[in-house]
Chain A
């Protein structure tokens, strides 16, 4: 994988929020590849590395990382502005597991050696990461995972398999949860490991999604030998490591961006189908629009918590439930409005803005990944409402 020399960014915290927003916006508009705006599918590394490298060269790849580690060291408020500006412009996700997960985890819980080795490689686009948690028999019940690592001298020997690993076919490193103690309570026998994908014994099988995209993979481990120095945190403390990363994920999953994008496309579609002025459509559209507005209001209260530097509680699960189901409801409506066009495999009239069936399919997994909505509701019922049972 080619890489770039990252630039140590200037400190932008001194700018006013407005000035910061303008600065970011102008740069995105000048630098983001137009053909990558709002892509119909999750982009592969071959497609989005241009943007990854641009950000890296600018020194803007890792807004949340402290400056001494090569990040922007932005305040929580400015990080949020940055995300808002990306969303506004339709900037696609990069292969961001290193930026969003591995980096912050190592900064908080890694050894100095690990930080020295890995952080610069993420910043340079040399290491592209994927997340190996789920297994064929450990999805919602992640703690029952069985891929095991057995100590052998200074190494671990790993056997088992991971599945639904997003963009494992692009990655050269994977972070894993593995079983290291079969006798302990299930959460207590899990360890967090960092593993190079080119280690002998690893095979990757891409899996095609219903959107006909090789977006995730199954990853097999057959006597894979890796050094123990790439263990993050203590042995058998992997569950704690994984949990440290979760809250972060849920606030992103709760952003109204996907729903807003879909709602705009619903409007485009209704215009094209000639129903935008029908009272029935106006009612449905407005209903969805108000739901987005309310979601944004609720989201803002959580953003404030983050901005104040406080921990998010389990009630943040609400955001994920609302946003993902709203996204689905909007695309369900698109299917009805599209008429017979709902059947088409490709966007209508070759226009990416008119892609009801594609968006409908892309909306499906959002209620499954990141903790399914059933699991989120269990959390709300048990950990927030403290209902019995």
Chain B
């Protein structure tokens, strides 16, 4: 990319990031987030509609499909802000569905916020396999899908299986949705399908899933970046033994180490997003995504754990904010692949790729 093109690109990322400030603010209190926790559907449909009006789930879709044809750099910038804001709206999973459905009226319904269609792709923990054992042949879906984030608010599911993709209405006969609460106050759905009517749709979730993994790494980056900033502020203001605790060298070194982790995570996520936008393909592409997700998952958890420790007793309370970030990291760290899963995948892929 030329220097001018890359400046343009940086400007585009900056603009998109700034545009997130209203719906996904990086500063201010977390009252909205707290109010939505542990109540179904776990997010605010009206805010989701506004996010749709801002074009967020369509960032990655071509213009002719109603999207804005932006790159992974822009998508990761938004996902990072959504992470930093702890916004519970299902941006990453809805984007995944919209991406797979691009060009169909179903995608349009997602992009306008009219219908929330969430991907139901997973059948086992610790996997990126979207096929599983579910069948959708003959207009009847049979199978069981798990770990569907924010499923309590879905109108329909984009179900993957041996026979390709199919849409299943939440209220259709043969569909049972149960949800379990997650640490961040949202929910994971389990979808059981027994001869449930379904509409086959073309396409495949593989690529959309890869992008979801990288966007989740970006969200983790937002989570750790903000909780780290809060922690540095606390080190400067909390006084014990007559001085700010940030004056104790043990804590200074700890903060410096965490800064290194945040910087490595940012470098990892942003360079991988840029590489994807520059056309990286094949095993090298998958390996790069694994590199970013493994880093963001490990560093995100580390930074959040240390944020609690450095806040002392108040860090262990629900009323202080660091805990909210830890709980978000607990949800995101293993979504779309844990650090271990991604490292393992990297090891098998990277041998014959540029990422090796």
Chain B 10-52 per-residue mask, 1 if CB under 8 angstroms from chain A, else 0: 0000000000000000000000000000100000000000000
Q: Does any Cβ of A come within 8 Å of B263's Cβ?
A: no
Interface string of B291-320 (1 = CB under 8 A from A): 000000000010001001100110111110
**Nearest Cβ in chain B — how far from A180, in angstroms?**
21
Q: What are 20 A-B pairs with beta-carbon distances under 8 A? A: A141-B240, A141-B242, A208-B319, A332-B305, A335-B334, A336-B339, A340-B125, A340-B126, A341-B125, A342-B330, A343-B182, A343-B334, A343-B335, A344-B188, A346-B180, A357-B330, A364-B315, A364-B316, A365-B313, A365-B316
Q: B339 near A208 (CB under 8 angstroms)?
A: no
Evaluate contact between B183 and A345: CB separation under 8 angstroms: yes
- Asked whether A332 lies within 8 Å of B301 as measured between CB atoms, the reply is yes
In the assembled complex, A255 has its CB within 8 A of some CB on chain B: no
- Cβ of A296 within 8 Å of any chain B Cβ, yes or no, is no
Determine the chain A residues whose CB is within 8 A of the CB of B330 once the complex forms: 335, 342-343, 357, 360
Smallest beta-carbon distance A235→chain B, Å: 25
The listed residue (A140, A328, A345, A377) touching B240 by CB distance below 8 A is A140
Interface hub of B125, B146, B341 (most chain A Cβ within 10 A)? B125
Given A140-B312, A340-B125, A357-B183, also A207-B317 (CB < 8 A) = yes
Residue of B whose beta carbon sits closest to that of A209: B316
* B108 on interface, CB distance cutoff 8 Å: no
A231 at the interface (CB under 8 A from B): no
In the bound complex, how far is the Cα of B338 from the Cα of A164, in angstroms? 34
C-alpha gap A311/B82 in the complex (Å): 55
Q: 9 closest pairs, A vs B, by CB?
A: A339-B125, A210-B323, A339-B126, A343-B331, A141-B240, A208-B318, A345-B181, A340-B147, A164-B313
Q: Given A209-B316, A335-B330, A374-B250, decide whether A344 and B125 contact each other with a Cβ distance below 8 A.
A: no
Alpha-carbon distance A75/B87, docked complex (angstroms): 57
Decide if B251 is an interface residue (CB 8 Å cutoff): yes
Q: How far is the CA of A335 from the CA of B301 in the complex (A)?
A: 10
Specify which of A141, A328, A373 lies most central, judged by the most chain B CB atoms within 10 Å of its CB.
Answer: A141
Asked whether any CB of chain A lies closer than 8 Å to the CB of B110, the reply is no
| Extra pairs beyond A346-B180, A374-B248 (16, CB < 8 Å) | A208-B318, A210-B317, A273-B125, A273-B126, A336-B334, A336-B338, A340-B146, A340-B188, A342-B330, A343-B330, A343-B334, A345-B182, A357-B330, A364-B309, A364-B315, A369-B313
Q: In the assembly, what is the distance between CA of A134 and CA of B323, in Å? A: 21
Q: Which residues of A contact B309 (CB under 8 A)?
A: 364, 367-368, 372-373
* A137 on the B face (CB < 8 A): yes
Complex CA–CA separation, A63 to B60 (angstroms)? 68
A345 / chain B contacts, CB cutoff of 8 Å = 38, 180-183
Q: How far is the CB of B123 from chain A (nearest CB, A)?
A: 12
State A57–B182 Cα separation when bound (angstroms): 43
Are B182 and A139 touching (Cβ within 8 A)? Answer: no
Q: CA separation between A328 and B181, bound complex, in Å?
A: 23
Q: By the criterion CB–CB under 8 Å, are A374 and B251 in contact? A: yes
Task: State the CA gap A212–B188 with chains docked (Å).
Answer: 19
B188/A134 in contact, CB under 8 A: no
Chain A: which residue is nearest B249 at the CB level? Answer: A389
In the complex, the answer to whether A137 meets B312 with C-beta atoms within 8 Å is no
Interface flag for A338 (CB, 8 Å): yes
